[in-house]
Structure 1
């Protein structure tokens, strides 16, 4: 791909007068809704909290191990995401790969069902969540690439925001289900045995079914993308795709350096956003003394706040552009997270107040980041460029988990991990500030 730059107004991801059927938008958003099984239940509020509990050993030690393992998973995603995205573009098989990777995520979730609350199962659980993370990110490359298939230039912000918002709302519903039925009190309303962590493990089984079920609508309702002729001709091997990736990066550096800076900035701050949710539940339990049930209650409140704010800021993204949304959100995140650290001696009340304020900004930053890039991508290159987006993100994905683990190890207390996450968010903010808003549009040319 050769990238060219025009100073004209951004070209629409799809014709502005095109009417996208609502069923397609909702089918696309259903994947985000179902992804709550992995994001909210597996990596944030249930399974990772379970995995870093005292049942598996020292909480500080298991929290650090979780950070290191997720860091390794991020490196593996960085090495493979753009290549899988490019190959799915050229083959016109975006839905196929979304289906394959989603299926592998479901299998990883299923594996967590077998993790008993014993130290001997710690590494099995860590590997299951790491493998799930890898395939979730690869699936998200193809899913994000479909954004331009279900939106227009006038609606891309609100469609993206709707997707993220549905993810948070789906998280609320699923967390309520597992909390009421299996976790509250002694085994929930169904009085499920807590021996060996069975109530948590059965929750993961429900999460597996949830993810698999809601991954199906987008595969049925949204067509495979039309592949431009010049791209369809570029059939490459897996390793040959790395050569194309390098050419893409050098083309971007020469002709659209602003895009490179955005990819770098978003890589850093998106990793910080991931760190907020990955370690939020862990900190609530380990530092602020939340029980498993209280973590779930907080998670429900957090998802309500995040979902409402994300859906509400979608139209704002369309009106003022994604950059102001991103900058405002990052400032809010840095301030709120810093206050949690400096005021943590105030206990659970402090965490409740400032963690919920923090949740106001996470979703809008994520959604606006996706639309910022989607406005630049030429038709037929969505998988490749979103693969590069995932790669740059995952090239930095070790930052938040590693920074969290490093500060925990250095100071010997879990609360210091917040400093690492704040530093990652702050660096991402500083790199993002000079990035120009979507003034440029990449154009694809045949080689």
Structure 2
């Protein structure tokens, strides 16, 4: 039983190892920079278009998550939906190999589809957490999964750096032509293969808990899901800590989404990072993020998820504010390392905090709203960042958005939540 449970936990965590390659190579460090420099007409226009695409994709995710999540719960379709979304994500990501200079809209369409499919697969994956680990271990399991994910992104970056983006004078694997950026575009194929292979442990070995058979059709369940969001929102107001935690998270999560979307672009434009620099930058950031998540997997359950969230937000706000004013590449490296150390703990602690505050009999309802709330306003950070860059023609103007959103979230979290309920709701 213990061995079976352990295999389920690590098979579930392996999905973070799989999908992190997309976030690391496509969303943050390689493809976004290639789009801006190699496909878009200009850096400023490329940044705005990229931000708008992330914003639209986030809205699509927010609209689809409730209906698909409700159907997955009602019919026991989490695994079925994961097969579909992972397949779509891999195909669209591999398709990013083909757009070249001037192919703006094909590139954005494929990227948007890959982003939507990847994020939806993560929503379904998160829904497995209550099934694969007891509540008192959610913090540890969640942090270790995030740590494994960051190391997955790190290893994929190592492969990309060694075989593809490996300096101007070195030949790329498979005879790829660097003059037309085949070596950069081929990293998308690497990500697609990586995502497909390491998703298999979850897809093959983790069985979901099947609900009772339902006579309602999918459209009926979809309509009911949106009504349930309204009902859940009304119920949440009865649970003050949960309600304000989710409101606060909407703001600081928008800042995190903007970091993932524009971190590589900011480093390239403001500090002259090359593709090879971005590889080293991504490796360092993933090492720090993995170490941060691993460290907090041992201490979060002791100090509490609420304190972990506050500590991580203080560090993230301080580092992003500093990144606004620094001029040297070395100083930027210091800010990036701090950001890396606290990204994973913040995300994991938010997931674990909800699991500890949620009454057991309402866990599915509130976890569904947690997934929805995380995407409902996720367009705001990328949209504001892209618009600020378009207006002021400055990446630093866009960067202002990130610490502002996280500060608003932190103030709401400190003002409206309190530590006591976290200890009192682990049992129904």
Q: TM over 0.5: same fold?
A: yes
Q: How does 1:289-304 map to 2 (within 5 A)?
A: 289-304=272-287
1:376 and 1:441 in contact (8 A); partners too: yes
Tell me, in whole angstroms, the C-alpha distance in 2 between the residues paired with 1:269 and 1:20. 37
1:136-168 CA distance string (max 9 Å, x none): 221111111111222223321111011101111
Match of 2:133, SS state, is: coil
Q: Residues 205 and 436 (structure 1 numbering): CA distance in 2 closer, same or farther, change over 3 Å?
A: same
Q: Which residue of 1 aligns with 2:155?
A: 173
What is the TM-score with the length of structure 2 in the denominator? 0.92
Tell me, in whole angstroms, the C-alpha distance in 2 between the residues paired with 1:380 and 1:19. 28
1:84 and 1:387 in contact (8 A); partners too: no
Q: Choose which of 142, 146, 168 in structure 2 pairs with 1:164.
A: 146
- The CA deviation at 1:407 is 2.1
Match of 2:335, SS state, is: helix
- The CA deviation at 1:358 is 1.5
Q: Which residue of 1 aligns with 2:59?
A: 75
Tell me, in whole angstroms, the C-alpha distance in 1 between the residues paired with 2:3 and 2:313. 33
Q: How does 1:340-359 map to 2 (within 5 A)?
A: 340-343=323-326, 345-346=327-328, 348-359=329-340
1:85 and 1:383 in contact (8 A); partners too: no
Tell me, in whole angstroms, the C-alpha distance in 2 between the residues paired with 1:169 and 1:309. 11
1:394-445 CA distance string (max 9 Å, x none): 221122112211321232112221101111111111111122343565999x
Tell me, in whole angstroms, the C-alpha distance in 1 between the residues paired with 2:339 and 2:95. 32
Q: Which residue of 2 aligns with 1:31?
A: 15
1:48 and 1:282 in contact (8 A); partners too: yes
Deviation larger for 203-212 or 50-59: 50-59
Q: How does 1:4-403 map to 2 (within 5 A)?
A: 21-116=5-100, 118-119=101-102, 121-186=103-168, 188-190=171-173, 191-227=175-211, 236-253=220-237, 255-343=238-326, 345-346=327-328, 348-377=329-358, 384-403=365-384
1:141 and 1:386 in contact (8 A); partners too: no
Greater RCO (Cα-Cα under 8 Å, separation 6 or more)? 1
1:97 and 1:142 in contact (8 A); partners too: yes
Instruction: Report the RMSD for the aligned CA atoms in angstroms.
Output: 2.3
Q: Residues 38 and 179 (structure 1 numbering): CA distance in 2 closer, same or farther, change over 3 Å?
A: same
Q: Residues 234 and 420 (structure 1 numbering): CA distance in 2 closer, same or farther, change over 3 Å?
A: same
Q: Residues 383 and 76 (structure 1 numbering): CA distance in 2 closer, same or farther, change over 3 Å?
A: farther
Q: Residues 69 and 440 (structure 1 numbering): CA distance in 2 closer, same or farther, change over 3 Å?
A: farther
Tell me, in whole angstroms, the C-alpha distance in 2 between the residues paired with 1:292 and 1:332. 27
- The CA deviation at 1:83 is 2.1
2:75 and 2:210 in contact (8 A); partners too: no
Q: Which residue of 2 aligns with 1:11?
A: none
Tell me, in whole angstroms, the C-alpha distance in 2 between the residues paired with 1:93 and 1:108. 22
Q: Residues 216 and 377 (structure 1 numbering): CA distance in 2 closer, same or farther, change over 3 Å?
A: farther
Q: Which residue of 2 aligns with 1:3?
A: none
Q: How many residues align?
A: 421
- The CA deviation at 1:215 is 1.0
- The CA deviation at 1:256 is 1.6
1:77 and 1:134 in contact (8 A); partners too: yes
2:257 and 2:382 in contact (8 A); partners too: no
Gapped regions of structure 2 (runs ≥ 5): none
1:26-77 CA distance string (max 9 Å, x none): 1111100011221101101111111111553211110111111111111111
Tell me, in whole angstroms, the C-alpha distance in 1 between the residues paired with 2:305 and 2:109. 36
Tell me, in whole angstroms, the C-alpha distance in 1 between the residues paired with 2:106 and 2:178. 19
Tell me, in whole angstroms, the C-alpha distance in 2 between the residues paired with 1:68 and 1:214. 30
- The CA deviation at 1:379 is 6.2
1:77 and 1:390 in contact (8 A); partners too: no
Tell me, in whole angstroms, the C-alpha distance in 2 between the residues paired with 1:73 and 1:139. 14
When you count helix as a share of all residues, which structure comes out higher? 2
Find runs of 4+ consecutive structure 1 residues off by over 3 angstroms: 17-20, 186-189, 231-236, 376-387, 439-444
1:252 and 1:259 in contact (8 A); partners too: yes
Tell me, in whole angstroms, the C-alpha distance in 2 between the residues paired with 1:381 and 1:293. 48
Q: Residues 144 and 251 (structure 1 numbering): CA distance in 2 closer, same or farther, change over 3 Å?
A: same
